[in-house]
Amino acid sequence: MPESNPMKFFVSYSRSVQDKVRQIIETLRGAGEEVWWDQDLRAGQDWWGTILDNIEQCQVCLFIVSEKSVQSPYCMDELRYALARNRLVLPYVIEGLPSYPLPPEIMQGRIQYEPYSGTPDHLIERIRLTCKGIEWAQYKDRYSMRPPEPNTGSQNLVDRLEKAIALANEGLFEAAVTGFNNVAHNDYASYGDFCHQWIDKINRYKEIASLAQHDSMKKLALPKWDAFLRQSAGDGLFDPLGVAVILGTTGAAGRWNPPPHGCAARVCRAGSCAGFTSSSRPPTLRRSCCTRPALSVYSTSTCTAVIASGASLRTDTMSCPCAPAPQARDT
């Protein structure tokens, strides 16, 4: 890779490691190489078409291996298209040796991944040595049909974002996180931060819900729950698994009495109800029944609505708008 003949690089990566990737790109450009990554997109460009254009124009696809990149349909389609067009693909693991499954495109033997030491200059040296020993005649362009934008169909980013939020509110956290990651990967300034805030919220909530399921750990869950409520007060209550019911509290604002032990209660949120008993068992999703936006706790024929109010929560009792609530069992 002599300086008089710069190479053209395309960089495929996950935004979860964007800062590290930026250092690598700046070092490559400082060494005189031509590099394209999605941060070079301009407003109004056909972003997926432009990505494919730059894969076709590159000589080397630098694939940054991370847990998020191998889970991203966009990164994987970029990798597959680069291989289909017979580009030299150099995968580098940026988060240490992977403890997660690697896709067959990397493991099949055609390309080998290497760990990234964290020093951009050292990586550039390795890339230069690799490219110097390449017989470029074997990497002539090969025609391949362009792949469509993955996971889109008729949906746009807003549709997918709404779906991810709905999945989170249903307690389907793994699917929700995948959805948020996919939107964030394709967000160019509008949705990335929002998606990562949701992922952080889900991870914090899962920890609290896990603690709340064990009587011996509820004391650990309570302060975390109060902090969670304070941090997300302006967003409305996020409690798909009914942590408020399990802990018997609405947080710092006060307490309310949960249904008697063994009583079939419901936690209702927009579009669905999670049925569970007040034992230590985790809640289970039952059926779609209620369109009321406030999370509500049904124990008899009335519902105690846990409503976000400023930095705290309040409870209101009202007539149950759903189908007849399960009868409370005398204890």
Rounded distance, CA 290 to CA 329, Å? 23
pLDDT at 61: 97
Question: Are 107 and 207 found together in one domain?
Answer: no
Residue 273 lies in domain: 217-331
Please indicate, yes or no, whether residues 134 and 162 belong to a single structural domain of this protein: no
C-alpha–C-alpha distance, residues 11 and 9, integer Å:
6
Q: Which of 168, 184, 212 is the last residue of a domain?
A: 212
Q: Among residues 254, 171, 266, which one has the least CA distance to residue 209? A: 171
Residue 2 covered by a domain: no
What's the one-letter identity of residue 250? Answer: T
Asked whether residue 306 falls in the same domain as residue 195, the answer is no
Model pLDDT, residue 104: 84
Write out residues in the chain with pLDDT < 70, as ranges. Answer: 1-4, 108-112, 151-155, 185-190, 249-331
Q: Are residues 134 and 28 in the same domain?
A: yes
DSSP 249: B
Give the pLDDT confidence score for residue 207 in this predicted structure: 94
User: Do 104 and 197 lie in a common domain?
Assistant: no
Q: Does residue 271 contact residue 286 with C-beta atoms inside 8 Å?
A: no
The CATH number for 125's domain is: 3.40.50.10140
Q: Do 15 and 122 share a domain, yes or no?
A: yes
pTM for the predicted model, two decimal places = 0.50
Quick one: 160 and 224 in the same domain?
A: no
Residue 1 falls inside a structural domain: no
Say if strands 302-309 and 296-298 run parallel, antiparallel, or are unpaired: antiparallel
Residue 149 lies in a domain: no
Contact 132, 124 (CB under 8 A): no
How many distinct structural domains can be found in the chain?
Answer: 3
Give the distance from CA 71 to its chain's centroid: 10
The answer as to whether 13 is a domain residue is: yes
For residue 139, give both structure tokens. 């990497």
Question: What pLDDT does residue 152 have?
Answer: 54
The answer to whether position 272 is within a domain reads yes
Q: Say if residue 249 is in the same domain as residue 301.
A: yes
The answer as to whether 146 is a domain residue is no
